[in-house]
Structure 1
Amino acid sequence: MPGPWLVPSGGAGTRDDGDGRSLPDEEATRAVLVGLGSAEDEPGLDELERLASTDGVAVVGRLVQTRDRPDPATYLGSGKVTELAGMVQERSAALVIADGELTPGQVRNLEDRLGARVVDRTALILDIFAQHARSSEGKAQVELAQLAYQLPRLRGQGTELSRVGGGRTAGGAGIGVRGPGEQRLESERRHLRRRMTVLRRQVEETGKRRERTRSRRRRNQVPSVALTGYTNAGKSALLNRLTGADVLVQDALFATLDPTVRRTRTAGGREYTLTDTVGFVRHLPHQLVDAFRSTLEEVVDADLVLHVVDATAADAMAQVTTVRGVLYEIGARDKPELLAINKIDVAPPEWVAALRSAYPAAIPVSALTGEGIDDLRAAIDRALGRL
């Protein structure tokens, strides 16, 4: 089931649709995906559907509108909103998920027109992270990202949270007539800001401890390699194969949130650390990048980035571009990079050939069968020897 942050609980066995109506759990997980672009862009909704599936949501429909930019009021144009409302009703959907970031006004207007809960891509990804966070560090980072997303979206609902008055008017008539809604809204904002301050301190302290550990490794002259790549590219499986570790491996998006560090040796006997890090995705929410900055510094401070590419992904080259964009954003663009084309045991041979042609220095491997692992170890040895 989706996390409670995405679909608020309406009581035992039910969920709230955002307007106070309780819905059965099985209905609350039915969703329609919407996006902007063209028919050629619809594969972008494939990833959104995988994200929804990871969060326990059953996708029952898709709607794509061809337009250059979102409608400022309703994201989709008026006619498409009417079509979407019919689809939501016909397919008993309780969720609409937009493949983009919505403004609070767009969410409110769409929910009024559709009679269903409306969330955007960012909210969906944050909800997935919240469900997968296991350590106290991961939970704090995810909560911080959620609050950073939620704070500018606080709004009054109905008369209880509406602004009745306030500010200075002629003769001071507005003084002292602030409505209970404004008081409650401001109180909620203060609460969120205080909680964010506590979480930032907690994350910063964890980051300092992590930096002290990295400093000890540098003093001991142990080079570090950071595994990075698109989510579900097989980074954890590759960590296990290279180090003999037993890290949890799942065929799911964002299965790894907490970094795992293991020591191992290259083919030539050179000792180094290998760190498994959180995977990336197209349009990774900036709130997550900010909140996970201390974790992502494992990549920034690494001596070598081992970039894992999923050969079974139809858009593998676009995924490489996405990952490199995030690395640029976090300050790791100048790090030496070694590409590993993973899952060659199940990928179409022509896709593997295309990737090898596009990235001639990449090493084709299978973390599952071990094919190409010796070549990868040798490549890591050579790369570390050049440092």
Structure 2
Amino acid sequence: MFDRSRKGERALLLQAQPPGQHDPALLEEFAELARSAGAGVVGTLAARLDRPNPRYFVGTGKAEELRELKNALDADLILVNHALSPVQERNLEKLTECRVVDRTGLILDIFAQRARSHDGKLQVELAQLKHMSTRLVRGWTHLERQRGGAIGLRGPGETQLEIDRRLLAARVKQLQKRLDKVEVQRNQARRSRERSALPVVALVGYTNAGKSTLFNAMTGAEVFAADQLFATLDPTLRRIDGLECGPIVLADTVGFIRDLPHDLVAAFRSTLAEAREADLLLHVIDASDPERDTRIADVERVLAEIDAADLPQVLVYNKIDRLESGVVRTEQLDRDGPLRVWVSARDGIGLESLLAAVGQSLASERVHRVVRVPAVSGRLRARLHALGAVASEQLDEAGWAIEIDAPRSLIEPLFGMPGGEGDWLKEALLAPTTVATYNQSGISRA
């Protein structure tokens, strides 16, 4: 065994890629992850990898080269841009006499530094413990077995490793219960917003695309924003008024990254629910990034993992101030495709076009109409209330004047209601008039 350095400030990076593939962007992103964690990159080592070596991940010769380079650079930490098995990680540490952290462990460390809210810290700790559970090793050789001292209790007891695993499993169970309570509270807050009929617009995108800066520019908030990966983790909500579709709630969410650890996706499921339950997604893209098409695909994969791939989107190309010639425009390349808006959140360029695109998108995706329903049609009124689709209502002798404000996808299933109410509701909501009255014998408009 060896004494692990606890500093972790001088990092040597190991980047393995298949033969014939060389993508400098992968190494640059990994170096940025290392710097975001607080490490200083003192060197890099590239390795051609046909398939992972079960012992060292890389071949024996490359592992020896890694050890020599680590000694020459006086590095106290080796970061591997790939997920390692516990055996591979342990063997590399033994060979190099240096602490080894894989990509998953590095991202978990960054999340642990950046989480600020109570539930964010719980989510990170849960993901860390799940990752750690496969990496417990025998570190208590002087306590080979715990033995009972009384008659009938002598003999083999639990190893320290078994005790560690049991304690860790108990802590994971405790954290999961706490997070379940947090999710219940989030769902209650979300239902409250649904009852207030305010549409939710969520900012999503690759990490460091400028989501928090854009959030601040659109809302006047002071959310922490920095030119680093995963600058903010915890979701923030703000109300925006004055749009074509009425007031909205804007949500800033955690950034995505390629090969985001599955444990993190699972642990942050309640946080990412702000994106999954949104009415509209603003997909923020770094317009100056030469790899932006790849980044878009990476974000789409994570959205599919959290069941948000089918939500309507507006593509927001940010950081146009970094382009050779700034562009400010709103476009829709095909009739069924998403709107594209070009902005600079830092300089406040294109924000009016963005807000107009949000209003336009929500207006087409939401139903906002006043209908008059007689007192005898309480079933239709009850269904609308159950869905949280009623913004306001007034009761008079003729019945209810109900203001419906809800996503169109929420209302359309009601078109199948029996007794003519579903057909009437569909006709009323598609009518060009502002107020429609249901009188059981047909529809009259005012």
Among 167, 183, 189, which residue is 1:191 paired with? 167
Task: Single out whichever of 264-273 and 241-250 deviates more from structure 2.
Answer: 264-273
Confirm or deny: 8 A CA contact 1:311 1:352 kept in the other structure: no
Among 83, 86, 100, which residue is 1:118 paired with? 100
Confirm or deny: 8 A CA contact 1:266 1:381 kept in the other structure: no
SS of alignment partner, residue 386 of structure 1: helix
1:131 and 2:109 matched: no
TM-score, normalised to structure 2's length?
A: 0.75
1:86 and 2:68 matched: yes
Among 36, 44, 51, which residue is 1:69 paired with? 51
Among 277, 281, 285, which residue is 1:305 paired with? 281
- Relative to structure 1, the CA distance from residue 338 to residue 21 in structure 2 (aligned partners, 3 Å threshold; closer, same or farther) is closer
Confirm or deny: 8 A CA contact 1:235 1:276 kept in the other structure: yes
Confirm or deny: 8 A CA contact 2:13 2:31 kept in the other structure: yes
CA drift at 1:155:
1.7
Output one character per residue of 1:318-364: Cα deviation in whole Å (capped at 9) or x when no partner.
111111100000111111111100010123449999x9989984211
Taking the aligned partners of 2:14 and 2:258, their CA distance within structure 1 comes to: 16
Larger Rg: 2
SS of alignment partner, residue 268 of structure 1: coil
Confirm or deny: 8 A CA contact 1:138 1:258 kept in the other structure: yes
Match of 1:376 in 2: 354
Which one-letter code corresponds to 2:285 in the other structure? Answer: V
- Relative to structure 1, the CA distance from residue 76 to residue 357 in structure 2 (aligned partners, 3 Å threshold; closer, same or farther) is farther
- Relative to structure 1, the CA distance from residue 306 to residue 360 in structure 2 (aligned partners, 3 Å threshold; closer, same or farther) is closer
SS of alignment partner, residue 153 of structure 1: coil
Which one-letter code corresponds to 2:346 in the other structure? Answer: L
SS of alignment partner, residue 22 of structure 2: helix
**Could you say what the CA RMSD is over the residues aligned between the two structures, in angstroms?**
2.7
Output one character per residue of 1:56-106: Cα deviation in whole Å (capped at 9) or x when no partner.
111111111112221111011111111111100000011111111101110
Which one-letter code corresponds to 1:263 in the other structure? Answer: R
Confirm or deny: 8 A CA contact 1:97 1:119 kept in the other structure: yes
Among 341, 358, 361, which residue is 1:363 paired with? 341
Output one character per residue of 1:133-183: Cα deviation in whole Å (capped at 9) or x when no partner.
11111111100010011112212137347689xxxxxxxxxx97547xx52
1:219-238 to structure 2, matched below 5 A, reads 219-238=195-214
Which ranges of structure 1 fall in alignment gaps of 5 or more residues?
1-17, 165-174
Match of 2:88 in 1: 106
1:218 and 2:194 matched: yes
Taking the aligned partners of 1:200 and 1:249, their CA distance within structure 2 comes to: 30
- Relative to structure 1, the CA distance from residue 246 to residue 105 in structure 2 (aligned partners, 3 Å threshold; closer, same or farther) is same
Which one-letter code corresponds to 1:49 in the other structure? Answer: A
Among 8, 32, 51, which residue is 2:12 paired with? 32
1:149 and 2:131 matched: yes
Confirm or deny: 8 A CA contact 1:266 1:377 kept in the other structure: no
Task: Single out whichever of 182-191 and 274-283 deviates more from structure 2.
Answer: 182-191
1:385 and 2:363 matched: yes
Taking the aligned partners of 1:329 and 1:126, their CA distance within structure 2 comes to: 19
Which ranges of structure 2 fall in alignment gaps of 5 or more residues?
147-152, 366-446
SS of alignment partner, residue 79 of structure 2: strand
Confirm or deny: 8 A CA contact 2:208 2:228 kept in the other structure: yes
CA drift at 1:41:
2.6
Taking the aligned partners of 1:259 and 1:97, their CA distance within structure 2 comes to: 29
Confirm or deny: 8 A CA contact 2:145 2:160 kept in the other structure: no
Taking the aligned partners of 1:87 and 1:351, their CA distance within structure 2 comes to: 46
Aligned residues: 355
- Relative to structure 1, the CA distance from residue 21 to residue 281 in structure 2 (aligned partners, 3 Å threshold; closer, same or farther) is closer
- Of Structure 1 and Structure 2, the greater helix share is in 1
Highest relative contact order (Cα 8 Å, sep 6+), 1 or 2?
1
Among 295, 299, 302, which residue is 1:319 paired with? 295
- Relative to structure 1, the CA distance from residue 292 to residue 159 in structure 2 (aligned partners, 3 Å threshold; closer, same or farther) is same
1:271-290 to structure 2, matched below 5 A, reads 271-290=247-266
Taking the aligned partners of 1:254 and 1:121, their CA distance within structure 2 comes to: 14
Task: Single out whichever of 222-231 and 36-45 deviates more from structure 2.
Answer: 36-45
Q: Percent identity?
A: 44
1:342 and 2:329 matched: no
Output one character per residue of 1:357-378: Cα deviation in whole Å (capped at 9) or x when no partner.
8998421101111111111111
- Relative to structure 1, the CA distance from residue 205 to residue 143 in structure 2 (aligned partners, 3 Å threshold; closer, same or farther) is same
SS of alignment partner, residue 152 of structure 1: coil
